[in-house]
Amino acid sequence: MLILLFFVIKFLSAQQIIPLEFTEQGHLIVEAKFNGVKGRFIFDTGAGVNLLTKDYSDKLNGGLIDLKQRYTGFRSTGERMDVDLYRLTSFELAGFKVNNPIATIIDVDLAGLDGLISLGLFLQQPFTIDYQKEQLVLEDLTISGAANKGTKIPLLVTKDRDIAYTIFAWVNINNQKDLCFLIDTGAGKNAFHMNKYYLPLLGEESGDPVQERKLQSDFNKELETSVFERKLNSIAIASARSIEVSEPKFLVIDKLIYDGTMSLNWIGDRVTVDMANKYMIVR
């Protein structure tokens, strides 16, 4: 009986490896199921809330409870989002399952994808993104073995009304200023956005924009955000300065609601995120 119990526990806590598909822009695509219906979703650490397209939600054949509750949040660019919330029966990713997840439904075209998966599903489940092997690894809860070897970086985990969850890390800009950046896999690869407020503090010119362009909202085609490019000297993880990128291109955004946002891929080839214990391990 003890031997059997050991193997049952070992099975339940074993790693689960899920293939990831990388788009040309660096978005992470994974197959998962809501209410048992398979779909293809962007794994988006910056999303806050799970999002289903209307076309996909129409395939669920019930199992959607309208909570009669509206959630108001803001995208990093300052765009306001007023969304209705729904409770579903289940979320499944390989052998990992979450009961009664919450999501919003939006009538939007995501280039054939079915929605966004947010971090709220992984509050107690550590995971690793392996950029070399193109895998999402669901770790055992103790994060043992190779996943526990590397550089440990503190995370700030934010929770808004038990609905939206995001993660942040402190970074150093130009060897001068530590700022708190949102970690956003939904931004693609090598994407760095910074609040315009900090340019003068870094000794940068704050005059005429350089290479100004417009970013069109994915959810409101009539809404555009003005951004311009700056090339700064460096960005590094504040607690591990050897993790650094020289002369990265930043999009500077006047109405950004954070200090900044950044992709995850530049931090390491293999990054483990443990939201429960508020750190990530980089290898």
pLDDT digits (tens, 9 = 90+) for 159-177: 999 999 999 999 999 999 9
Specify the pLDDT at position 98.
96
Q: Would the CA dihedral through 95, 106, 119, 240 be positive or negative?
A: positive
* Whole-number percent of the chain with pLDDT over 90: 67
Confidence tier at 106 by pLDDT (50, 70, 90)? very high
**pLDDT surpasses 70 at 82:** yes
Q: Which helix (H) or strand (E) holds 90?
A: strand 90-93
Task: Determine how β-strand 192-195 pairs with β-strand 260-262.
Answer: antiparallel
State the Cα–Cα distance between residues 88 and 203, nearest whole angstrom. 50
**pLDDT surpasses 50 at 16:** yes
Specify the pLDDT at position 7.
38
Q: How much is the average pLDDT of 278-283?
A: 95
Confidence tier at 5 by pLDDT (50, 70, 90)? very low
The residue with greater pLDDT, 1 or 153, is 153
The residue with greater pLDDT, 204 or 54, is 54
**pLDDT surpasses 60 at 13:** no
- CB–CB of 131/255 below 8 Å? no
Mean pLDDT of all residues belonging to the chain: 88
Cross-strand pairs, 173: 177, 235
**pLDDT surpasses 50 at 11:** no
Count of CB atoms situated within 10 Å of the CB of 266: 17
265-279, pLDDT tens digit by residue? 999 999 999 999 999
In this structure, what is the dihedral angle of CA atoms 259, 274, 57, 103, given to the nearest 10 degrees?
A: -60
Specify the pLDDT at position 210.
60
Confidence tier at 41 by pLDDT (50, 70, 90)? very high
**Structural domains of the chain, ranges and CATH numbers in brackets:** 14-142 (2.40.70.10), 147-282 (2.40.70.10)
